[in-house]
Amino acid sequence: KAGVTQTPRYLIKTRGQQVTLSCSPISGHRSVSWYQQTPGQGLQFLFEYFSETQRNKGNFPGRFSGRQFSNSRSEMNVSTLELGDSALYLCASSSGLAPSTDTQYFGPGTRLTVL
Amino acid sequence: EDKVVQSPLSLVVHEGDTVTLNCSYEVTNFRSLLWYKQEKKAPTFLFMLTSSGIEKKSGRLSSILDKKELFSILNITATQTGDSAVYLCAVAISGGSNYKLTFGKGTLLTVNP
């Protein structure tokens, strides 16, 4: 089975721009979660989608949004980029169904640098 | 607020040593605890623990959960340089639409030859 894929792997943007990141989950998985990882804060939960619906959301401003398509692929959008948005953005997939939903498999991440 | 605390934050050992990594948590409606290993990029799944006192084992790695004292340990025996990584502990919470993992800051393990 192919793993979780994320595109692009690296991005450089300037303040004020917007960015869209993409994640394709493991085949058959219906849940996609997004995390932001920074050296100071560690891994922080952004949101989780299951069957095109957002089921849970972390404590991030509204500039961070996402969506999921019918084929379970997910996109994450960050508008009006700030320097502090520079981070590794990780996507994780799981079946989305208890009890196995907790075991999440991570993609390689997108390294976003905001200048 | 849900909290997951890992200790130590970093650790340097020599090949062949045995290490114990700690993870304590304070969360509402605990469901499971997970361990991940992160080298360069993607965290890779190691263990999921849901019941107290039952050891999970994979090769030289093992882990156990204590739900009464709210902690878990990850043991690595006969460490190798390839074990050098950040080890992440995460807790999943049940109830409502809570499908998220709350992570600790991780333990950076360095194994020197």
**In contact, A81 and A114? CB cutoff 8 Å:** yes
Contact A33 B100 (CB under 8 A): yes
* Contact by Cβ (8 Å): B89, B5: no
- The C-alpha angle B106, B16, B25, rounded to 5 degrees, equals 25
Q: Which of A56, A88, A108 sits opposite B99 (nearest CB)?
A: A56
**Cα separation of the two ends of chain B:** 41
Share of chain B above pLDDT 90, in %: 75
| Structure tokens belonging to residue B98 | 């809570």
Residue A7, chain B, CB below 8 Å: the answer is no
Nearest to B41 among A56, A103, A109 (CB): A109
Residue window 33-72, chain A: list those with CB within 8 Å of chain B.
33, 35, 42-45, 48, 50, 55-56, 58
At residue B38, what are phi and psi to the nearest 5 degrees? -120, 115
What pLDDT is attached to residue B53?
85
Q: Cα angle vertex A1, ends B62, A30, to 5°?
A: 90
Q: Which helix (H) or strand (E) holds B24?
A: strand B19-26
Q: Which residue is it, tokens 């999440």?
A: A104
Residue B16 distance to chain A (closest CA, Å): 29
Q: Are strands A10-13 and A110-114 parallel, antiparallel or unpaired?
A: parallel
The residue ranking higher by pLDDT, A86 or A95, is A86
Q: What distance in Å separates residue A17's CA from the closest CA in chain B?
A: 25
The pLDDT value recorded for residue B40 is: 80
Mean confidence (pLDDT) of chain A:
92
| Token reading at A98 | 């208890």
How close A6 comes to chain B (CA, Å)?
Answer: 11
Task: Give the number of C-alpha atoms closer than 13 A to the C-alpha of residue B98, restricted to the C-beta side.
Answer: 15
Average pLDDT taken over every residue of chain B:
92
Q: What is the pLDDT of residues A22-73, one digit of tens each?
A: 999 999 999 999 999 998 888 999 999 999 999 888 889 999 999 999 999 9
